[in-house]
Amino acid sequence: QLQASGGGLVQPGGSLRLSCGASGSSFSSYTVGWFRQDPGKDRDFVAGIRWSGGTTYYADPVKGRFTISRDYAKNTVYLQMDSLKPEDTAVYYCAVGRPITSAAKNPSMYYYWGPGTLVTVSS
C-alpha cells in the first residue's frame, strides 16, 4: 500500500518535500512516479525514478526545480520541490509500475496508486 505525505501550503518561491512509502512491500524492480492533478483536468506526470539503477525522468515544467530521489534503507521515494509556483498547485499522487523507458511518463503504465497529498502554492 502506497502512502504519500508532505503536502501543504507554501508561498511562491518556497519548497516542499513529498514522500512516498510502501508498507509491506519493496519498490524493487519498479518505477516510482509522481503525478499531479487539478480538479477537472487530466493527471499529469511530474517525475519518476527507476528503483534499480536510479534513472530519473522529469516533466518539462518542473525540470531544474524538482528533484526525485530514493532511500533504499527507508524504502521511500522523495520529491523535493523548490522554487514553487502557483501553477504547481495540485493534488500529488505517487504510483508504481514497470513502464518501458518511452512510456515512463504515461499514467496508464502505473498500476498501484496511493492517495493524493494536496500542495497549495499561494501568497
Task: Identify the pLDDT of residue 101.
Answer: 84
Mean pLDDT for 6-18 is: 97
pLDDT of residue 24 exceeding 80, the answer is no
pLDDT of residue 89 exceeding 90, the answer is yes
Say which range, 65-69, 84-88, 103-107, has the weakest mean pLDDT: 103-107
Mean pLDDT for 88-107 is: 92
Place of cell 502506497: 2
Task: Identify the pLDDT of residue 18.
Answer: 98
- Answer whether 106's CB lies under 8 Å from 97's CB: no
- Answer whether 52's CB lies under 8 Å from 31's CB: no
- Under the banding of pLDDT at 50, 70 and 90, the label for residue 39 is confident
Share of the chain above pLDDT 70, in %: 100
- Which residue, 119, 82, 83, 85, is CA-closest to 6? 119
pLDDT of residue 73 exceeding 80, the answer is yes
